[in-house]
Structure 1
Amino acid sequence: MSDLTDRTALVTGASRGIGRAIAMRLAKDGAAVIAHFGADEEGAKATVEQIRHRGGTAFAVEARLGVDGDTEKLFAGVEAVLAGRPLDLLVNNAAAPPAGPIGTTTREEFDHLFAVNVRAPYFIVQRALPLLRDGGRIVTISSVATRMANPAQTSFAMTKGAVETMSRTLAAELGARGITVNAVAPGATRTATNAALFEAPGLTELITAATALGRLGAPEDVADVVAFLVSDAGRWVTGQVIDATGGLFLGPRA
């Protein structure tokens, strides 16, 4: 029997990239997956179809995050899928990308980043708690940007630092219910969406030379870490930020 059989997971931003990989991995482990998407309906349908093709159970739910009424719309769809059953696993993966260095970021871009990357996951957790069973799991995707200085990602790193703090404080609060709360921080991860970025001359070589394990990350690398944290094997890990970068910028390599 799969580890997550009879569990239901909500994965935000599951239409592509790391979110899709997480949804597919949790489904492989037996969970019924609610795959949230904001705008990429075709991508979400593809995620659901791939899961179902492999014998899993999945549903797509749409809600644009970072706008008024986003949480209410999301959970109207979630509760329709649950049909009175509890939610077992919540993975906050959806996020807006970096807006640029401090010299060019506009107030509107800054506010959008915080609306999607901080406000949305905070109120998604708030709304999910009455549905989440005791012993459930919450995982939020952070970023290596919180531990390494990248001037092009200052505001983005600030948002990810916020959700790491949220995870630690919620872990302390929700431990009484047996709910674990953690964050996973990916590094340079090649996806279908950002593959062109790594075609810049010398970039891949630069990153891999600074990575202990000597390669770029793949979405499945991150998904496997999430799968561990939400499994029974991860029951004693809470309030942590798990680095899932392959050892990016740990120090000089011999």
Structure 2
Amino acid sequence: MNGRTALVTGGSRGIGAATALRLARAGADVAITYVTDREAAEDVVRKVEAAGRRGVALRADSGDAAEAADAVPRAADALGGGRLDMLVNNAGVGVVGPLEELTAADVDRVLAVNVRGVFLASRAAAARMGPGGRIVTIGSCLTQR
């Protein structure tokens, strides 16, 4: 991964943070997105930098169409002069509760982040990737429960 650039959505905690750190330890410069916890995102960036790589935290809500698409060029410009080698679609949300209590807004938010945001970020990333570029999408088994 030396010399490669990566964007990990939802990279401020959990699987996203672990993925960002693993990519940095493998030699990639890494941008992450976060929505609310700037401090956690900056902590991940510090760890990326401690691994000897460049790190960037970008506030971007994957459920917002403009922000989901715009995070890719922002990351690519910050890390690689406009090039992105890998996108990890990790941002995701879920709504837990009895079906009769869920609202249309709950469903809209889940679809906006977990489906539309993945599509928009992937489309934007594909336009910035050269040969060997990769798009990885993290999923959840929660839907099986």
Q: Judge same fold: TM > 0.5, yes or no.
A: yes
| Counterpart residue number, 1:59 | 56
Tell me the SS of whatever aligns to 1:59: strand
Is the counterpart of residue 29 in structure 1 residue 19 in structure 2?
no
Is the counterpart of residue 110 in structure 1 residue 107 in structure 2?
yes
Q: Relative to structure 2, which stretch is displaced further, 66-75 or 132-141? A: 66-75
**Bigger relative CO (Cα 8 Å, ≥ 6 apart):** 2
Is the counterpart of residue 18 in structure 1 residue 24 in structure 2?
no
Distance 1:91 1:62, change over 3 A: same
Q: Counterparts of 1:81-230 in structure 2 under 5 Å?
A: 81-82=78-79, 84-146=81-143, 148=144, 150=145
Whole-angstrom distance in 2 between the partners of 1:131 and 1:32: 15
User: In the alignment, is the contact (CA less than 8 A) between 2:73 and 2:124 conserved in 1?
Assistant: no
Whole-angstrom distance in 1 between the partners of 2:81 and 2:53: 20
| Unpaired runs of at least 5, structure 1 | 151-254
User: In the alignment, is the contact (CA less than 8 A) between 2:7 and 2:72 conserved in 1?
Assistant: no
Tell me the SS of whatever aligns to 1:128: helix
Distance 1:72 1:109, change over 3 A: same
Distance 1:145 1:127, change over 3 A: same
Q: Encode CA deviations 1:37-79: one digit per residue, 9 max, x unaligned.
A: 1221111100001121232221111112212422343135224
Who wins on radius of gyration, i.e. which is larger?
1
User: Please, what TM-score do these two structures have when normalized by structure 2?
Assistant: 0.90
| Counterpart residue number, 1:80 | 77
User: In the alignment, is the contact (CA less than 8 A) between 1:5 and 1:29 conserved in 2?
Assistant: yes
In structure 2, what residue type is equivalent to 1:84? G
Size of the aligned set, in residue pairs, is 145
Whole-angstrom distance in 1 between the partners of 2:135 and 2:66: 22
Whole-angstrom distance in 1 between the partners of 2:142 and 2:69: 30
User: In the alignment, is the contact (CA less than 8 A) between 1:99 and 1:110 conserved in 2?
Assistant: no
Runs of 4+ deviating beyond 4 Å: none
State the shift of 1:134 in Å: 1.5
Identity percentage over the alignment? Answer: 39
Q: Encode CA deviations 1:92-114: one digit per residue, 9 max, x unaligned.
A: 00011333232221111111110
Tell me the SS of whatever aligns to 2:101: coil
In structure 1, what residue type is equivalent to 2:139? S
| Unpaired runs of at least 5, structure 2 | none
Whole-angstrom distance in 2 between the partners of 1:60 and 1:100: 32
Tell me the SS of whatever aligns to 1:26: helix
Whole-angstrom distance in 2 between the partners of 1:47 and 1:37: 11
User: In the alignment, is the contact (CA less than 8 A) between 1:13 and 1:93 conserved in 2?
Assistant: yes
Distance 1:7 1:13, change over 3 A: same
User: Please, what TM-score do these two structures have when normalized by structure 1?
Assistant: 0.53
Root-mean-square deviation over aligned CA pairs: 1.7
Distance 1:85 1:108, change over 3 A: closer
| Counterpart residue number, 1:177 | none
